[in-house]
Amino acid sequence: EVQLVESGGGLGQPGGSLRLSCEASGFTFSSFAMSWVRQAPGKGLEWVSAISGITGTTYYADSVKGRFTISTDNSKDTLYLQMNSLRAEDTAVYYCAKVNRRDGYDYDHFDYWGQGTLVTVSS
């Protein structure tokens, strides 16, 4: 059974930092891309970042580029999101998601999601 468990959310100061973690189990972690998606209060879903499990190539939404860093530790089957220079608009529930492939394309759909971790940016 695939499981994704996020942690690390909480209250962050504007301009401060937080690191989110997502511990994965039930699949070969290093063989799949992983992603972070967020939902601000009362808003829709917003893709944040993705990383290839095979090449380590990373991708970011413009809204977080240069401030957030996605990474993995394959020895721990864990995905991370280092969030720096936090802004009020980063307040959201952050979900990690496993990205499944289709017909050789590694980024086809998000088939499993964690339960989410809430990040609140406020002074």
Partner 1 sequence: DIQMTQSPSSLSAPVGDRVTITCRASQSISSYLNWYQKKPGKAPNLLIYAASNLQSGVPSRFSGSGSGTDFTLTISSLQPEDFATYYCQQSYTIPFTFGPGTKVGIK
Instruction: Give the interface with partner 1 as residue ranges (CB under 8 A).
Output: 35, 37, 39, 44-47, 50, 59, 61-62, 95, 97, 100, 102, 105, 107-116
36 or 80: CB nearest partner 1: 36
Amino acid at 39: Q
Contact 72/79 with Cβ under 8 angstroms? Answer: yes
45 or 88: CB nearest partner 1: 45
Q: Give buried/exposed letters for 99-113 (b at 16+ CB in 10 A, else e).
A: bbeeeeebeeebebb
Q: How far is the CB of 14 from partner 1 (least distance, A)?
A: 25
Q: How far is the CB of 112 from partner 1 (least distance, A)?
A: 8
Q: How far is the CB of 57 from partner 1 (least distance, A)?
A: 10
103 or 123: CB nearest partner 1: 103
Q: How far is the CB of 101 from partner 1 (least distance, A)?
A: 10
29 or 95: CB nearest partner 1: 95
